[in-house]
A and B are shown apart, each in its own frame.
Chain A
Amino acid sequence: MLTQIIAQGLSVGAVLALSALGLTVIYGVMGVVNLAHGEFVMLGAYSMAVLSEPLGPWAAIALTPLIVGAIGLVVDRGLIRWLYQNPVKSMLGTFGLGIVIRQLVLIAEGPGLRYVDLPITSSVAILGEQLPVWRLLLIALAVVTGVLVALWLSRSAAGLKVRIATVDADVASALGTNVSRVNALAFGLGTALAGLAGALVAPLNSVYPNMGVSYLVGAFLVVILAGLGSIRNALLWAAGVGLVTSAVAVPQDDVLAQVVVWTLALVIVALRRQTLVVSRV
């Protein structure tokens, strides 16, 4: 049972990590609290639903972050850029954005559940337990993505600009960085990560317009615990939340698991001196 708990916990954590990563990049870089983040996960799931049959699942998974990231760029230019560095305004703005996206998808696709084919339905025996291969893939992809994003931020020129802009936007623009463009890039990246999460969960679940809400809540939980801006922390805390959830849910039930997770989160946050720890990206 322990292997099941760990594998299950890590796969839940993987999805949390991908959504939390996007959220933390967006806040870390441009100070926007993106309450529509769950909707980008949902858009990723729908992109997978629409593309995986004609193009095959792997092409669909590769394309989805690009598509959702592109939508993110458009949204950034159209709405988000009025909301930079303003948490309250951005919450209101993105809350409305979330409603608009949900309704547009509802109108375009209808309220019914969409089916996405699970590309790998087999399971593999590890340490005496049967583990679904797809979930293992999810974990691997989350880790790889997290590492790639961290490397990009720390090693590439664009990443450097993003980090400077995070620390001090005025200094960055004085140094010649187009801060507005950096913000757009960050929003595109953040939403692309959300879209990837959506594409990966779509085959395991159901795809419907309101599915994004629970991903937003989970992502926020991880971001609050991990602190905004640190990718490594986001990955670790996502894994932690996933493991605690499954440690309670497997022997008991999922509702109790939620109670335990949120109570622990409250205690941890209460014991810290700051509510929201902000660290360097």
Chain B
Amino acid sequence: MSAIAHPLGKYLRPGCEVTTFCPGCGDGTIAQSLLRAIDQLGWDLDEFVFVCGIGCAGWIPSPYLAADTLHTTHGRPLAFATGVKLARPDRRVVVVSGDGDLAAIGGNHLIHAARRDLDLVVICVDNRIYGMTGGQVAPTTPPGIRTTTTPLGSVERPFDLCRLVEAAGATFVARWTTAQPRFITRSITKALQHRGFSFIELISQCPVHYGKMSGEGGAVEMLHGFEENAVPLRRAAQLSPEELAGKWVVGELVGAGKREE
């Protein structure tokens, strides 16, 4: 038996050390960034309730985190989380789900949860596709991208989720890509300490479905693409809309600097 243990292993549910994520998936990076944030704050997982919906990202907390976990119906984690938080305001309620779950089928709950400014942290894993069902178009898929349900390329415009929740009233909003795990951890740390509705969009790679169909390639190529196309907020202010086309503005877009508990 090896005595070497992963420093975050203590947060994993016993018996759940092996994940079901596909090779190259961004979910592992996000799980680790989330646990690093909790570890840095020194908070006990017993204080948390994780709520997740249907889709690959929902499997980040369920069942891997050794904490109370409510794995809900598709699109509804924010509705369930609202009940948990209202009935037990002393719990730290974190929602982890995907773009399809939160922004398509659950879009109405997303804007209303932001409007209520209830003290929830929402981590939206945006892989721009439906991964679990095998690569269908999502409300975040860029135009022209081929998916199994848009064989000639998507003709619809994608949501800008951060602007959507900002307009709805979210008081902390950040966006990063999985190529920036340390920034993810830092923003999750801030979101956990922020009182109010926090939304963190994490652009993540699905090499198996998105990378293959879009031509962006495997996990490594996709992460390189994220590095190239992620534009920090300050630099984005100097670029024209044309120059920003196809890029992600990353950073803490709303509520930066608010750290008070």
B is bound to A? no
